[in-house]
Every structure is written in structure tokens, then in C-alpha cells.
Structure 1
């Protein structure tokens, strides 16, 4: 008997470990990067960069959580979380910023309220 796939309401895309994408990505739902992205990422949801994830390009999202490495600028309309394992080389524009101890940030931060 075949098992039906039930939607969980948590649709997201993923770039898995040992996968490299060269080019820009545009996502209308949440996305998790555990591989390597060499290009810009524009997401209308939440971006998660896993501990092994690497992004060489700019990120634009509603929310973001960084555990890996980003070399590029980040614009987040709501909350950006830099976990203790994160390394960010670039400028940030954000409404709310959370930085855990031992997170690395090399760049400037501009905090503002985004208009919807």
C-alpha cells in the first residue's frame, strides 16, 4: 500500500552538502543552503545557511539565520541571526540583529525599519 505524502505547511527549498551552484537564486519560499552558492540569493521567506554552507554573493530575505560563511552584503527586512559558528564578510541592512558570542562579522551594519 502506497503511503501518501501529506503537506506539512512548511515548504522550503534546499541546497545540500557537496552541491555547488554558480548563478543567482530566486526563492519564493524558505531556503536552506548547506552547499556552496556562488551568486546572489533573493528569498521572499527565511534563508538558513547551515554550518557547512557557503555563499559568495549578496543575500536579500525577510529573515535569515547564518551558521556558515557568507562573503557578500545581506539585506533582511526583519530579523538576522548570526550563530556562533558564522563568518560574515560584508555589510548588513536589517531591522533586528542577533549576534551570538564567537560569531564573526567584518563589515558595517545599518539598522532601519523596512516599509512593506
Structure 2
């Protein structure tokens, strides 16, 4: 018989961090409720309800949908964030960015089209809905 403590930890994976280690390459799509730290390489789409940190040796090529993202490494593709994108001085970004807030340290490379304040989310029918920064449909 399991105790309630074991059942809770087995069910609550949203607070556990997923780590893609340096030297690891993943090709494909990833979806998770928990946060990510990426020090390896991902070619594909990443969707999470948590925070994503792309370390200095990390790279993502594809679409990244998350709440908040801190980037020290490389990103190329589309970023859709409900919260804040924080670019450290070593960050290199290419593509399309849609965020609520943006913080850029001196030295970061930001070659992207950027939309702030309105966050597009995918509707159930495959179409897109536009929501403002407070989550209200526009």
C-alpha cells in the first residue's frame, strides 16, 4: 500500500525539472508540464507550462512555447511566451518572438521580429486565437 506522500510525488511532475544534458541531441517534439534546462541540442518543437532555460552550450531550432524563457545559448525559430524572455549577454536569437516582457543584456544577439503584449495561443480547432497579456481574448 502506498502512502499519500508517495502518491503525491508520483502525480505531481510539474515542479520537477527536465534536463537535456550537454552532448545530448534530440530530434522531435517535446511536450511537458514541468520546466526545462537545455544544455544540449533540440531540433523540433518544445511546449511546456513551465520555465525554460537554454544554457551557454544549449541550442534549440524549432518552435518553443512556454511561460518564461532565459537564454544564454542559441535559439532559432519561433518563440511564443506568456511571460518574460530574458536574454543573457551570450544569447544568440534568430526568428520570430512573441512575448509579454523582454529583457536583453548588452552583448546579446537579437535578430528577430518581436511582438510584445499580445500572445497567440493555439485554439482547439487548429486555428489561432489572440489573447492580450492578461489572457483576455482580443
Counterpart for residue 104 of structure 2:
99
Q: TM-score, normalised by structure 1?
A: 0.89
CA distance in 1, matches of 2:98, 2:47: 14
Query: What is the deviation of 1:91?
Result: 1.1
Counterpart for residue 115 of structure 1:
135
Larger radius of gyration: 2
Structure 2: gaps spanning 5 or more residues: 1-8, 118-132
Query: What is the deviation of 1:32?
Result: 0.6
- 1:30-76 CA-to-partner distances (Å, cap 9, x unmatched) read 00100000101101100000000011111110000011001111011
RMSD of the TM alignment (CA)?
1.5
Q: 1:83 aligns with which of 61, 84, 88?
A: 88
Which 4+ residue blocks in structure 1 deviate beyond 3 angstroms? none
Counterpart for residue 34 of structure 2:
29
Query: What is the deviation of 1:15?
Result: 0.3
Structure 1: gaps spanning 5 or more residues: 1-6
Native 8 Å contact 1:33 1:54 kept in 2 = yes
Native 8 Å contact 1:77 1:114 kept in 2 = no
CA distance in 2, matches of 1:76, 1:99: 15
The count of residues paired between Structure 1 and Structure 2 equals 109
CA distance in 2, matches of 1:99, 1:27: 26
Over 3 Å counting, the alpha-carbon distance change for 1:73 and 1:114 in structure 2 is farther
User: Which is helix-richer, 1 or 2?
Assistant: 2
